[in-house]
């Protein structure tokens, strides 16, 4: 299995001299199995440069799994060049959002309406199939099995485990660790604690033992104090997740758009001191655009 980061930025693309090293594109991760099955996690702006590499692999068969439909995870899809080319087959998977009562197809079609984009969905030349997933559904793409689990974010967000030939990875999409909405001493505090540990147990069961965990670590602990409830994790929370799920390595992603390379480097060096590998922390890294992991 080969994994490559095409976009590691959260919220909005942030090109410029301060983000040359880690990259400015929003979320997109390419996964290719040993058999050559093409899987893409999220369609942020990073999917546009990825799409050019697919032009040497036509006709393309490709499966795109959307964690959730916030802009930074779908905005690149209209610029995914293979959708304009006949004989390509693109499968797009995602959730049904119970609040908006819209499926991934509804939301993607809206994004292609003529006031947003010059080419309408009906005019796309590739065969495009939408698939609405239910929680914990496993789908097969070639040699890969992809299983989702509900994460914690303001819109319904699936994390995905991809497994192939005995290797596995998990991507959280956007995720904030569950926290108790009651204060200690409140009537429902203990009950809510039980709910959290039940939900976390289910999540860890899906993530358990993966070779690579890619997780939302958007905030520092200080930032999180004023951004609790915004739906994102921290370096500390992703390390806790990695330990609880006994993963082999951790890549932190969804970097804040205001965070330059120097700032990210500093945060990483501080984290290496604070969470030494000798304390049982799995090896951890900052996700970097263009970086490739071979499993």
The most distant pair of C-alpha atoms in the chain lies apart, rounded to whole Å, by 62
CB of 54 or CB of 219, closer to Zn ion:
219
CB of 174 or CB of 289, closer to Zn ion:
174
Q: Which has the closest alpha carbon to 212: 289, 285, 147?
A: 285
136-137-142 Cα angle (round to 5): 130
Q: Does 72 bind Zn ion (CB under 5 A)?
A: yes
CB of 78 or CB of 231, closer to Zn ion:
231
CB of 82 or CB of 177, closer to Zn ion:
177
Please identify, among the stretches 10-18, 50-58, 76-84, 94-102, the one whose residues bind Zn ion according to the rule CB under 5 A: 10-18
CB of 63 or CB of 253, closer to Zn ion:
253
Beta bridge partners of 89: 61, 127
Q: Does 70 bind Zn ion (CB under 5 A)?
A: yes
CB of 92 to Zn ion, least distance (A): 18
Phi-psi group of 11: left, alpha or beta (phi > 0 → left; psi -120 to 50 → alpha; rest → beta): left
Please identify, among the stretches 6-14, 84-92, 113-121, 245-253, the one whose residues bind Zn ion according to the rule CB under 5 A: 6-14
Please identify, among the stretches 67-75, 99-107, 236-244, 266-274, the one whose residues bind Zn ion according to the rule CB under 5 A: 67-75
Can you tell me the distance from the alpha carbon of 10 to that of 234, in angstroms, rounded to the nearest whole number? 13
Q: Which residue is nearest to Zn ion (CB)?
A: 70
CB of 33 to Zn ion, least distance (A): 26
Tell me which residues in 168-187 interact with Zn ion (CB under 5 A). 174
The token pair that represents 107 in the structure block = 């939301």
Q: What residues contact residue 43 under an 8 Å CB cut-off, 6+ apart?
A: 28, 64, 66, 73, 74, 75, 76, 77, 80
Q: Does 10 bind Zn ion (CB under 5 A)?
A: yes
Strands 167-171 and 250-253: unpaired
Q: How many Cα atoms occupy the beta-carbon half-sphere of 85 within 13 Å? A: 18
CB of 257 or CB of 282, closer to Zn ion:
257
Q: Which residues bind Zn ion (CB under 5 A)?
A: 10, 70, 72, 174
């Amino acid at each position: 299995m080969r994994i490559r980061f095409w976009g590691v930025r959260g919220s909005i693309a942030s090109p410029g001299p301060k983000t040359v090293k880690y990259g400015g594109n929003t979320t997109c991760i390419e996964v290719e199995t040993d058999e050559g099955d093409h899987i893409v996690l999220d369609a942020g702006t990073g999917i546009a440069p990825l799409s050019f590499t697919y032009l040497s692999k036509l006709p393309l068969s490709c499966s795109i799994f959307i964690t959730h439909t916030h802009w930074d995870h779908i905005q690149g899809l209209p610029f995914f060049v293979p959708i304009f080319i006949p004989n390509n087959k693109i499968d797009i998977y995602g959730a049904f959002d119970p609040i908006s009562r819209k499926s991934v197809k509804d939301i993607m079609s809206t994004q292609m309406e003529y006031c947003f984009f010059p080419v309408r969905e009906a005019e796309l030349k590739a065969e495009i199939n939408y698939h609405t997933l239910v929680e914990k559904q496993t789908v097969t793409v070639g040699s890969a099995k992809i299983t989702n689990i509900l994460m914690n974010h303001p819109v319904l967000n699936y994390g995905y485990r991809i497994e192939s030939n005995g290797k596995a990875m998990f991507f959280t999409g956007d995720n904030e660790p569950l926290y108790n909405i009651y204060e200690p001493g409140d009537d429902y505090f203990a009950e809510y604690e039980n709910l959290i540990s039940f939900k976390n147990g289910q999540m860890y069961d899906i993530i358990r033992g993966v070779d690579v965990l890619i997780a939302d670590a958007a905030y520092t602990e200080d930032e999180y104090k004023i951004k609790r409830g915004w739906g994102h994790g921290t370096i500390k929370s992703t390390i806790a997740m990695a330990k609880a799920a006994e993963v082999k390595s951790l890549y932190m992603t969804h970097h804040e758009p205001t965070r330059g390379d120097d700032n990210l480097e500093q945060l990483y060096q501080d984290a290496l001191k604070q969470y030494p590998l000798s304390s049982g922390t799995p090896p951890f890294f900052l996700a970097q655009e263009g970086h490739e992991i071979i499993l």
